Amino acid sequence: MTPSKQTRTLNEQQDVRLKQFKIAAATYALAFPLLFLAHFAALISWPYALASCALVLIINAVFFGLFTSGANLKFEDASLTHAQTSAGIFFVMFVAYGFDHDRSLVLIWCFVVLLFGVFRFKTREFVVTTLVILAGYAAVINLLMTFKPQTVNVYLEWFQWATLAMVLPAFAAIGGRISALRAKLAENNAELVTALSTIQVLANHDTLTGLPNRAMFNDNLQQAIARATRSSTQLALFFIDLDHFKQVNDTLGHPFGDSVLREASRRFSSLTRDGDTLARFGGDEFVLLVENLRDTSDVHAIAHKLQSVLEQRATIDSHEVNLSASIGVCMYPAHGDNAQTMLANADIAMYQAKSAGRKQYCVFSSGMSDQAAEKYQMETALRRALEEDRFRIHYQPKIDIASGRVTGVEALIRWEHPELGLVYPDRFIRLAEDTGLIIAIGRWTLKEVCERARAWDEMGLPPMIMSVNLSASQLMHADFVKDCAAALKAAGRKPELFEFEITESMVMQNPEHATKLMEELRAIGVRLAIDDFGTGYSSLAYLKQFPVHTLKVDQSFVRDLPHNRDDVAITRAVIAMAHSLKMNVIAEGVEREEQLALLTAEGCDEFQGFYCARALPENELIPFLKGRNSGHRGNVTSISAKHGG
């Protein structure tokens, strides 16, 4: 608790104590008219009546001074309940001594004194107070017998004492019970307040990070828009999505993913100012609301800070993690006049940043809405394509450079769209990755390739090694190896007749984990290849650890052969390195004879590209294979099922 909050709480408690004292003082004030009536009824002499009134004033003045000066805080019982009760008993006994007869009328006031302890005294304290009252009255009787014997009827006085001795304990027990019930009620009330407070927090805050949740943020955003409207100011909304977070969950587990989210939350929070609102929407999505934006250019500085705060390498649960985020920015009133529109537009801008390659930010523009609508339509159609079996596979031959024979074919997925016609993978694979549909598409591809391979075996074609090119999401999916083994078993073929291609950039995202998964795939007997080699900046130290059979030289290095000296040097180095590691080398994208001539001179093993053949549908592929490999039925043929074109 902060010092200011402690002071505020202490002042509130003092106010309650002073209020309770004033109630007691008001009770004392009733004694004034009663004493005057008692004097006129000849129950007490005038000097004793005045002395009793003076005693009331003295008692209350002393307690008022203690409460207003704060001196009461020096006592263990800051409410001075015991002290006030003792003072009340002394006052009652003083008045009883002053009465000349009918002292039972004064003794009734003892019950009023006991009321001071109701809600605060325990039963034991009530009993002690009762004993003090009885002892006090016994002392008064003895004093009366000594100094005012003419006013004393001893038997009557002791009868009254005995009556008190029997009645007061019962009253004390009832008072104690009331206090206990009050304490229990206070405890239940405190628990209820705590529970309501917890429910309030849970309803408005994210339990993992402690940040405001979607519901609370929406409310804050609506209020911020109202304030900005009244003051004619601007505000900015930043929609933040962590890059590749799904892979973190799939590879290292959800508990580790939770730790990553807490770390990201901590870093984002370190940038927020008083008045800013940072919230977690769920999953790996965060939103930041910045009010009173001075200039629209400030959004660029803020977006840069949000990205840079993630750049420092994080060590979480003994794992080193590189964090980055894609950020969409939307401003009020330029990009929306209500909370729903602003959130939707910021989300659209965020997806635009992801499409641009991630680890970027994008400010919303009106044209993005059309793109978002198109993307939604494509996503809907993509889901329908799975249900309606609209995917097709075309096969591009692979050629052995030394013999000219077909050593395999690469299977390229196509989408037969009812309106757009044949859609190539560069238009839908990224969308499939973002929506998670890539897992289902990958399963369909594997199943389709396995079925076609078995059908070709039944046609009498030579055995073909099926090499399936995997996406990052497929490879990192928790059930992939199990699904792969099941599909191969269902195909009824030996595992070594299949090969999986993995892009270099995919492997380098998490080399240790990728190596582990590749070893698991090798353990079930399949072959492995590194696709698009040369574009992922992989370390040679990692490359020699990868359990792969084949390197595929990316077509970007083949395109300008033999005229670009850098590409020639790179291609030569890759071929030499692969051969030194006992790997086969395939060059992609060969379209001209001069390219093939250089590759032949450098010792490349295989090639594929339009120089030999384009990707063919199955009904054109089979005659091509039979004609090209006529007389070579014993050759092993490789078919690569790939999502890329």
The pTM of the full predicted model, rounded to 2 decimals, is 0.53
pLDDT for the residue 296 = 79
Distances (CA, A) of 177 to 36, 79, 114, 584: 36, 21, 13, 91
CA distance 640 to 617: 14
Give me the residue label for tokens 């003045």: 61
CB atoms within 10 A of CB 576: 13
CB atoms within 10 A of CB 195: 10
pLDDT for the residue 602 = 93
Q: Is 592 helix (H, G, I), strand (E, B) or coil?
A: coil
Pairing mode, strands 464-470 and 421-423: unpaired
CB atoms within 10 A of CB 511: 16
pLDDT for the residue 603 = 94
CA distance 66 to 80: 9
Distances (CA, A) of 402 to 37, 83, 582, 594, 596: 131, 110, 18, 16, 11
Burial category of 618 from C-beta neighbours within 10 Å (exposed 0-12, middle 13-18, buried 19 and up): middle
CA distance 139 to 118: 26
Give me the residue label for tokens 């999502």: 643
pLDDT for the residue 273 = 85
The tokens of 209 are what?
């990070």
Mean pLDDT, the chain cut into blocks of 10 residues (645 residues total): 63 82 84 87 89 90 88 84 85 87 84 70 78 87 88 85 83 75 78 72 80 89 92 92 80 82 91 89 90 85 90 76 88 88 88 81 78 74 89 89 85 88 87 84 88 85 78 79 85 82 76 83 88 63 78 89 91 91 92 94 92 89 79 44 48
Return the beta strands (E) in 391-445 as ranges. 391-400, 406-417, 421-423
pLDDT for the residue 177 = 77
Show the domains of the chain with their CATH numbers. 3-199 (no CATH), 214-365 (3.30.70.270), 390-642 (3.20.20.450)
pLDDT for the residue 534 = 65
Residue 550 contacts residue 529 (beta carbons within 8 Å): yes
pLDDT for the residue 564 = 92
Per-position DSSP letters for 467-478, written without gaps between them: EEEEPHHHHHST
> Which positions ≥6 away from 132 have C-beta within 8 Å?
86, 89
Peptide bond into 3 cis (omega under 30): no
